[in-house]
Structure 1
Amino acid sequence: MSRLFAFGLGFSARALAPLLASQGWEIAGTAREEPKIGQLRREGFEATRFAGDKSNSELPKLLQGTTHLLHSVPPGDDGDPVLASYRDEIAKLKTLEWIGYLSTVGVYGDQQGNWVSEETVPKPNSARTEARVVAEQDWLDFGEKIGVPVQVFRLAGIYGPGRSVFDKLKAGTARRINKDGQVFSRVHVDDIARVLEASIAKPRAGAIYNVADDEPAAPGDVVAHAAQMIGVAPPPEIAFEDADLTPLARSFYQGSRKIGNALIKSELGVELRYPTFREGLRSLMPKETPPSR
């Protein structure tokens, strides 16, 4: 019996879970908050709490029988929380066949608008992305030590049902921030699930994959396109210098890069269902048009 355990059974893992469950897999995982744990259990998943430490005695029991481990919990000040808390328990799993670590394309830092591939040397430009680079290598080293293939997936900006520009337009929080030459790569959550499923079928120890769609685009262009689709006026453009952004939001604009995705196609045989934001937005088109703001 195949069993997926996800440290962080969140947006991306929950897109993968039904694909595997339909094939008879058992699905288990963690969340930080009790309401989310309850929701996961109501959806038929085994779930327990993980808040970055080893305080939950139930968690090692749910790990038993795991054949595939997916990890999306970000590193903290003391490094990767999963390795810090459950390294020994994971190492002792005799059933484990595959480990997937969900990272971010933010590790590439500022590439001055150039295309990057998995061969591009990471150039993190914040403590947050530096910690990601360290965590990636820690997991690759751990997999080599225990003889289980570890795959690192560097994800572009994730969107999907309930988490798209349509939701921001409806809430009145969508903004068109203009920074000359700035583009972002993005990926629909369903395509992330397809990449993970393909990797599970074809594991390769030490693999690193960029997971992004085919067309990097300026965020303001995506907002304008979505507004046009539903017949509302787009929010006015705001110059980046004048935008009121949190430090975290501002950090996303510190690097400009275009994420190449050739490897997931050539090696894993993935055909993106949503190759650009246009197809992705079309699949998320709301039934009700939000009022113009």
Structure 2
Amino acid sequence: MTRKQIFIFGAGYSGRAFARANSEAATIFGTTRSPEKFEALRQAGIVPLAFDGTLTPEIGAALRKTTHLVISVAPEDAGDPVLNAIRATIIADMPALEWIGYLSTVGVYGDHGGGWVDEAAECRPVSKRSMMRVAAEQEWLRLGEDIDRPATVLRLSGIYGPGRNALVNLENGTARRLVKPDQVFNRIHCDDIAGALWYLADGNRGGIFNVTDDLPAPPQDVVAYAASLMGVAPPPEIPFDGAELSPMARSFYGENKRVANAAIKAAGYSFRFRDYRTAFDYMWKSGDWRDGEARSPMKR
């Protein structure tokens, strides 16, 4: 079997979780806009490179040997910055490429009034950023067809994990329990993003998959559950209509849906954390909830 060389455009929170789960001794390159983040990438097992939207000689050299390409960069007004920079390289100068994985968002579905959606559901993006995501998804899938390589879109729900969760928010005093009647969200632990990515990459599987938990739930319930584990009183409920929120935060509450994950289960992936309760129980018991970087690698 050929050893993988993986290239991650946008090696942020999810990309670093993916790299920490590397049990194959694969070589992993990853980009960041900020050289100040190079050390965090190295600690996750990533060879760091700077990417500001321009294809550099260093990136080009790594791409020529890349077998698996992962994109975790948000589209911009001018389009997908990675596609804009390397489309020609993918077509003409990546002879080893076997698979493309694009990290997207369940935000592409928009608002479905709390109803269930799966990968066949109509995309009704509400926000501009989600509209751009739909366009980027289509471009990556079309490129995969053009070069006859499997391309996979992973639609992620609300991401949490060590260093980024309600336990941390309760500890630092920033947790709030906003209540909007009948509002629910799905979530996904970063280890299951990593696990799903590795599973799909290992099998060179193409298509669209929702990577999300089994339990869409009101956000205030998650905070209350975390408080119960910590043995502290949950913060008071705050009616959504009177809450002070940024425009982006408020826009999230404008989309209400329950996202199904049957397709990736049918493809053979087994979730490590089926819901937030399972994940929070594990994080609290293990102490693996404070720092998202200083963790032992997840074993696949």
TM bucket (normalised to shorter chain) is: over 0.9
CA contact (8 A) 2:20 2:45 kept: no
Cα separation, 2, equivalents of 1:188 and 1:203: 23
Aligned to 1:19: 21
**Structure 2 residue matching 1:118: 3-state secondary structure:** coil
Aligned to 1:273: 272
Aligned to 1:2: 4
Mapping of 1:153-192 within 5 angstroms?
A: 153-192=154-193
Superposed CA offset, 1:145-202 (max 9, x none): 1111100000010111111111111121111000000000001111111111111132
Residue 15 of structure 1 aligns to which amino acid in structure 2? Answer: A
Q: Does 1:36 align with 2:37?
A: yes
Aligned to 2:294: none
Tell me: CA distance 1:262–1:289, structure 2 relative to 1, closer, same or farther (3 Å): closer
Q: Does 1:77 align with 2:69?
A: no
Give the deviation of 1:24 after TM superposition: 2.0
- TM-score for the superposition, normalised by structure 2: 0.91
Q: Percent identity?
A: 47
Cα separation, 1, equivalents of 2:200 and 2:55: 32
Give the deviation of 1:19 after TM superposition: 2.8
How many residue pairs match? The answer is: 286
Cα separation, 2, equivalents of 1:166 and 1:63: 39
Tell me: CA distance 1:127–1:168, structure 2 relative to 1, closer, same or farther (3 Å): same
Residue 248 of structure 1 aligns to which amino acid in structure 2? Answer: M
Q: Does 1:123 align with 2:124?
A: yes
**Structure 2 residue matching 1:128: 3-state secondary structure:** helix
**Structure 1 residue matching 2:284: 3-state secondary structure:** coil
Give the deviation of 1:100 after TM superposition: 0.3
Q: Does 1:208 align with 2:211?
A: no
Tell me: CA distance 1:7–1:288, structure 2 relative to 1, closer, same or farther (3 Å): closer
Residue 130 of structure 1 aligns to which amino acid in structure 2? Answer: M
Cα separation, 1, equivalents of 2:113 and 2:46: 43
Give the deviation of 1:288 after TM superposition: 11
Give the deviation of 1:55 after TM superposition: 6.0
CA contact (8 A) 1:105 1:155 kept: yes
Aligned to 2:111: 110
Cα separation, 2, equivalents of 1:153 and 1:42: 25
Cα separation, 1, equivalents of 2:62 and 2:167: 37
Structure 2: gaps (5+ residues): 291-300
Cα separation, 1, equivalents of 2:234 and 2:83: 45
Cα separation, 2, equivalents of 1:74 and 1:271: 27
Residue 280 of structure 2 aligns to which amino acid in structure 1? Answer: L
Superposed CA offset, 1:105-141 (max 9, x none): 0000000000000000100001110000000001011
Residue 283 of structure 2 aligns to which amino acid in structure 1? Answer: L
**Structure 1 residue matching 2:49: 3-state secondary structure:** strand
Give the deviation of 1:244 after TM superposition: 0.5
**Structure 2 residue matching 1:5: 3-state secondary structure:** strand
**Structure 2 residue matching 1:285: 3-state secondary structure:** helix
Aligned to 2:249: 249
Tell me: CA distance 1:177–1:47, structure 2 relative to 1, closer, same or farther (3 Å): same
Cα separation, 1, equivalents of 2:224 and 2:65: 48
Tell me: CA distance 1:42–1:229, structure 2 relative to 1, closer, same or farther (3 Å): closer
CA contact (8 A) 2:165 2:289 kept: no
Residue 110 of structure 2 aligns to which amino acid in structure 1? Answer: G
Cα separation, 2, equivalents of 1:213 and 1:120: 18
RMSD of aligned Cα (Å):
1.7
Structure 1: gaps (5+ residues): none
Cα separation, 2, equivalents of 1:74 and 1:142: 17
Tell me: CA distance 1:43–1:219, structure 2 relative to 1, closer, same or farther (3 Å): closer
**Structure 2 residue matching 1:58: 3-state secondary structure:** helix
Give the deviation of 1:280 after TM superposition: 0.7
CA contact (8 A) 2:16 2:44 kept: no
Give the deviation of 1:285 after TM superposition: 1.3
CA contact (8 A) 1:230 1:289 kept: no
Give the deviation of 1:204 after TM superposition: 3.4
